[in-house]
A and B are shown apart, each in its own frame.
Chain A
């Protein structure tokens, strides 16, 4: 994609993916990479940081005879996500207004 995508958007996408359902690192990476051009090695530090900031918690669950670490959104993570969504709507609206014109804005 031609457009630059910042760290805040990546955080927002990860929170949103995890908010949909508690899920694991590999799946989160695939879901985010489906819409945003980030390298696979970028996701782990983001997850780790969101976890340290209290927006995500992890729990371990057995799957097919091995362990899977799931990420789950916290109440403060949800608050942050709601905030991100509002900011994104405003941002997208502003961009559309100039880039696409009135009909889509």
Chain B
């Protein structure tokens, strides 16, 4: 390939670009050859990687796809085997991806972290946080049978305690009621001896007393339980809000 062939092929491969862009590119490469000197023509073409590669890189940066492989002369395909930097352009060109690799939102992943507007440290931290969240979500889903069982068990225990405490209070109330009813004589007491009567009233009083103790004691316990559950919920909420605060 000669310089003239290079320029002709470049012009042909860029022919669907705005005239101004085509002329600018052609002038640039014409001068480029002149600066390198006529004796280095072949070397320059080799270093540039051929007209097809030059055209594709320009097209990629203008947001246009590469011309299809059928249009690519076979003897030029060695062109892509150079610096890793080019693969971004080549890949974009091949995919027909968006505009300039640097300012467009669809920039190549490799350059995204180096985007001008960001502090150097920002991008990696953001990425880590994102992936952490995903790991947690995934972990939560995978371990669902375990923690659902545990949570259910804990809930059961809490509900059980409440039920027991409430039952004791109800029992206490029942004992008071029974004592009072027995005290004021549903039954006929005429046939009882004095000693039996004493025992009977004593039993009634004891029943009322034990019932009051049960009601008072377990009401206190119920209050403590409610406060404890409230505290647990509060701390859970704070932990959740705390985590969200970090993430936001």
Contacts and interface: CB of A to CB of B under 8 A. Distances in A.
Interface string A9-31: 11100000000000011110100
A44 B25 CA distance: 8
Contact of B34 (A41, A48, A66, A80): A66
Contacts of A8: 102, 111, 114-116
Interface string B42-65: 001001110001100110111000
A90 B47 contact: no
Given A37-B85, A41-B49, A49-B102, A94 B57 contact: no
B128 interface: no
B120 A6 contact: no
B201 interface: no
B149 interface: no
A7 B44 CA distance: 23
Contact of A87 (B29, B111, B120): B120
B58 A67 contact: no
Contacts of A25: 28, 31-32, 35
Given A8-B116, A38-B83, A91-B120, A44 B58 contact: yes
A26 B36 contact: yes
Interface in A65-105: 66-69, 80, 83-84, 87, 90-91, 94
A57 B226 CA distance: 75
A44 B28 contact: yes
What's the dominant secondary structure at chain A's contact region?
helix
B86 interface: yes
A7 B102 contact: yes
B31 A69 contact: yes
A62 to B, nearest CB: 12
B244 interface: no
Nearest to B57: A41
- Interface-centre pick from A44, A67, A68, A84 (highest chain B CB count, 10 A): A44
A87 B61 contact: no
Contacts of A6: 110-111, 113-114
A69 to B, nearest CB: 6
B38 interface: no
Interface string A42-57: 1011011100010000
A45 B25 CA distance: 9
- Interface-centre pick from A7, A10, A47, A49 (highest chain B CB count, 10 A): A7
B116 A84 contact: yes
Nearest to A37: B83
Interface in B135-184: none
A10 to B, nearest CB: 8
- Interface-centre pick from A8, A25, A38, A45 (highest chain B CB count, 10 A): A45
Contacts of A40: 44, 47-49
Interface string B21-37: 10011011101101110
14 contacts: A4-B110, A39-B83, A39-B85, A41-B53, A41-B86, A45-B62, A49-B100, A49-B102, A66-B31, A80-B116, A83-B116, A87-B119, A90-B119, A94-B121
